[in-house]
Structure 1
């Protein structure tokens, strides 16, 4: 989220006590300069321009910087051009595939990062919570929609009443590139996210289970009271999309030995998976935490098998940028909410 603090703009003006000749000479000198030289800056850059410059430098892309800052690419180009005009030197080399920094651009990047971090820390330390405003683009795994998301939204609104959450539900594998590209500010997803530019905050983990209607014809359990692998493989199995860990785990488990080829249905909508399971289409592999009411009513049951399923571990993830204080505060709030729900 961008800060709106600005540095003061200072322009050279003749003092009231200057003699006319000195004022005229200064005017002639100024008029004769086509552009200021480095070290002869006409004005101090505002924080927004430094922020835009930092993210262009970080991404090496005007397009990705525009997405990260929720602005247009022409606006980013105009800001960079204004900075270069103010400093009187090129800062960015615009290549066909990537923007790179000039020596002075690399020097300015260090200053910009320090300014942004200090401004961010100052705002979080001294500004009232209701002074923070804007839109946070939140990417979210659907599992959390069915668990503690409503509590988090209420807490976030109470803490930062003028901050709006723009929520997009998607699978974790899609959210990672969106986060890296700056299209999402904060993501609650299956982790860890092993990218050097991303910070992870552990949230919670949920076990997976084989789930079915109690009257689904799977045949009798074995002598240990377990549903055989072959019985599950003979029916339809519904779970998360093909690129996800649950799908790949179930595919491998059901494909081990035997002559029965498993029939897997991938689905990106957890609500749809639950509905298909309630309709008796097959066995689903989902977290029991999302179907508590259906289990209590006896509409669905957990199947006991000898196949071990992994847990889904979720993290809050943000860009490791200098202006992350508000995002980090929201990530830690999510940690608190998730921990409270685990204790229930």
Structure 2
């Protein structure tokens, strides 16, 4: 019985499939099958039953899973407490929303590079919905997104919120919500849904909403006079100072944007956990 066999067993048990486990571990399906067969031969028991939806654990498999998870926990404890962080190698995949990418993300990545000089970083900037799906599919190690991610398998660390304000192009007249388009976040986001609901309550169904997945493009559209919209104050201040944007008060403000640093809870990933807490420190300092 080897650690590789136990790790492979755990991935198949978690993902309920040999193919999905092979993709996650970046090895071939025959290699996964061979490790499982060797483990079953060693223990002289059957660990999985095949179903139309994948594989499920037998009674013996459920018993082994508990022991294998304890071994995995000890491995992570050893790696966290004994190993030198500067010697960590491999690929660490970070996903971030554009709001974070436009603010404190560069400081976070710089600090991460200094702490782990041999680690390769892969960055994805996308809307929070897509980041959440990528995290749950285990395509990201850490997601900095509008959260929390309310899934049993995910851990979340709270990040500072971003307050929103209403902005228009400098020099433009006070807007009429029934005539001036409202520039908003992408359609499949919580801020878009909340904004459309509130606009409908206050101004009726006649409000035109232009959804945009790019925050920087939205800000440029507002500064160009195409429309008005709620923008994180932290991102608007430079444009206000440059005389491009002007804040106004229509009598209400959308909810602040709440963010979390989120990572998969199992298998335990001490690197992702440390990076999440470091992200919170950097964001708070920013």
Q: Normalised by the size of structure 2, how large is the TM-score?
A: 0.93
- The structural deviation recorded for 1:234 is 1.8
Asked if residue 282 in structure 1 is aligned to residue 227 in structure 2, the reply is yes
- The structural deviation recorded for 1:49 is 2.7
Q: How do residues 1-150 of structure 1 correspond to structure 2 at under 5 angstroms?
A: 44-45=1-2, 47-150=3-106
Q: How do residues 311-330 of structure 1 correspond to structure 2 at under 5 angstroms?
A: 311-330=256-275
Task: Give distance in 2, aligned partners of 1:65 and 1:301.
Answer: 52
| Residue 309 (structure 1) aligned to one of 230, 246, 254 | 254
Give ranges in structure 1 of 5+ residues lacking alignment. 1-43, 220-230
Deviations 1:89-141 (A, max 9, x none): 32122222132001221122112111111111111101111221111121211
Give ranges in structure 2 of 5+ residues lacking alignment. none
Would you identify which runs of 4 or more consecutive aligned residues in structure 1 move more than 6 Å?
none
Q: Which residue of 1 aligns with 2:208?
A: 263
Task: Give distance in 1, aligned partners of 2:27 and 2:167.
Answer: 45
Task: Give distance in 2, aligned partners of 1:72 and 1:236.
Answer: 52
Task: Give distance in 2, aligned partners of 1:143 and 1:167.
Answer: 14
**Is 257-266 or 160-169 further displaced after alignment?**
257-266
Asked if residue 210 in structure 1 is aligned to residue 155 in structure 2, the reply is no
Aligned residue pairs, count: 286
- The structural deviation recorded for 1:169 is 1.2
Deviations 1:279-306 (A, max 9, x none): 2211122212123321211211222121
Asked if residue 298 in structure 1 is aligned to residue 243 in structure 2, the reply is yes
Whether contact under 8 Å (1:237, 1:263) holds in the other structure is yes
Residues 96 and 337 of structure 1: CA distance in aligned 2, closer, same or farther (over 3 Å): same
Q: Which residue of 2 aligns with 1:171?
A: 127
Q: Which residue of 2 aligns with 1:160?
A: 116
**Cα RMSD after superposing both structures:** 1.9
Asked if residue 339 in structure 1 is aligned to residue 284 in structure 2, the reply is yes
Deviations 1:159-184 (A, max 9, x none): 11112221111111122222222122
Whether contact under 8 Å (2:164, 2:257) holds in the other structure is yes
Q: Normalised by the size of structure 1, how large is the TM-score?
A: 0.78
Which structure is higher in strand share?
2
Asked if residue 254 in structure 1 is aligned to residue 199 in structure 2, the reply is yes
Residues 312 and 258 of structure 1: CA distance in aligned 2, closer, same or farther (over 3 Å): closer
- Structure index of larger Rg: 1
Deviations 1:180-231 (A, max 9, x none): 2212221111111111111110111001222221123435xxxxxxxxxxx1
- The structural deviation recorded for 1:277 is 1.8
| Residue 239 (structure 1) aligned to one of 180, 184, 190 | 184
Task: Give distance in 1, aligned partners of 2:57 and 2:177.
Answer: 58
Whether contact under 8 Å (2:141, 2:263) holds in the other structure is yes
Residues 249 and 328 of structure 1: CA distance in aligned 2, closer, same or farther (over 3 Å): same
| Residue 200 (structure 1) aligned to one of 141, 147, 156 | 156
